[in-house]
Amino acid sequence: MDQEDRIALFLDYENLALGARDHRGGMAFDFRPVADALAERGRVVVRRAYADWSYFDEDRRMLTRSHVELIEIPQRMGASRKNAADIKMAVDAVELAFERDYISTFVICTGDSDFTPLVHKLRELNKRVIGVGVEKSTSALLPPACDEFLFYDRLEGVEVPEARGRRARPARVPEPQPVGQEPEPQPAEEEAPRDVDTLAVLVAQTVAGLQGSSSGAVTASTLKRTLLRKDPTFSESDYGFRTFGELLRHLAAHNVIELAEGPAKGDPEVSLPEHGDREVAFGLLRTVVQELAGSDGTVALSGLKNQLRRARPDFSEKKLGYRSFLQFCKAAATSGVVELRWSPEDDDYLLTAKAP
């Protein structure tokens, strides 16, 4: 139990309830999916919700059954009521951060960007901050400020109306396809292959960056934390995987990464393949450079990537962990596959194929 994260949960309830009702077809906010998601992340020791509860009578009963402490913010005039709730919640959170050292994680449930300074302050106090908000009503400023951000709409157990769909895409569907059943395939859009390809690039680049900046092994837990730092809204479930381990095994099966036994059970080491696809890509580069070489035996870097893609349409240096095509060519030059030099006359890099 000493290893568990202690979590303090703060709900800007009016923001959540109205956000859910306005953007989820009038459906009521359900606290249970939030509680279940947090149970997977640690032990919740504080649960507080802030609102004028005279407006949320049924919700109050639901929250009380879930052992949430209800903080009453009486109705005032316009913005003063909103500010009163925000200020009270922020003051309580900072006070708790100073008084309860054992609380390691603060969960701020709101989509309001006014809480961004609170998030920054909690992180400054060495607290991990998880945000929770309704996707359509969450300010774009808030998720990047958090260590992790969970969209309420995507949590397990939240039933999203069929007409909704994700990322505003379904709005285009009813116009060309007015048929009643047509929205049905929309929430279950089969974009996974393209999405997973994009994810493979992100994972490969992240592993390459971690390997370059650290002398130690890259573990799955380190990789997950880094991905969340890059994108706090990241979740493997958005790509169709139940666990992060399942995602890694999928990428390993497609030779994007390699997995090895790590220092702890269930936390494997992750690395980029030393051979295989990279060597094949280097060989492809050498072949294309040889075929395109002019009388002086050189080929300009500009436009070369398109030539590689003509020969191999699935070529992507990013899947191999390289941030740019130039970086890939420099790695090939370091491996002795090609010679790479800058030409001031051509204002470009020139490549020359080397004999195998």
The domain that contains 348 carries what CATH number?
3.30.420.610
Where do the H-state alpha helices sit in 214-303? 220-230, 244-253, 277-292
One domain, residues 18 and 139: yes
For residue 172, the model assigns a pLDDT of: 39
State the total domains in the chain. Answer: 3
Spatial separation of the C-alpha atoms in residues 250 and 124, rounded to whole Å? 36
pLDDT at res. 242: 86
Judgement on whether residues 19 and 116 belong to the same structural domain of the protein: yes
Rg (CA), the chain: 26
Q: Mention every residue, 6+ apart, whose C-beta is less than 8 A from residue 202.
A: 227, 230
Is there a single domain that holds both residue 79 and residue 212? no
> Is 101 within the bounds of a domain?
yes
Q: What's the CATH number where 145 sits? A: 3.40.50.1010
Both 112 and 245 in a single domain? no
Query: Are 23 and 137 within 8 A, CB to CB?
Result: yes
pLDDT tens sequence for the chain (356 residues): 456 789 999 999 988 888 888 877 677 888 988 988 888 788 899 999 998 888 888 888 889 998 999 998 886 545 455 578 889 999 999 999 999 999 999 999 999 999 999 999 999 999 999 999 998 889 999 999 999 999 998 887 787 655 444 443 333 334 444 454 444 444 444 333 447 777 887 888 788 777 766 656 789 988 998 888 888 888 888 888 888 999 999 888 887 888 888 888 888 998 887 655 777 888 889 999 988 888 888 999 988 988 888 888 878 787 777 777 888 888 888 888 899 989 888 888 899 998 87
At 274 the pLDDT is 63
How much is the pTM?
0.60
Please check whether residue 297 lies inside any domain of the structure. yes
Domain that holds residue 240: 196-271
d(CA 26, CA 18): 9
pLDDT at residue 181, as a whole number: 47
What's residue 194's pLDDT?
43
Residue 174 lies in a domain: no
Torsion of CA 339, 209, 268, 1, to 10 degrees: 170
The whole-number pLDDT of residue 75 equals 66
SS3 assignment, position 270: strand
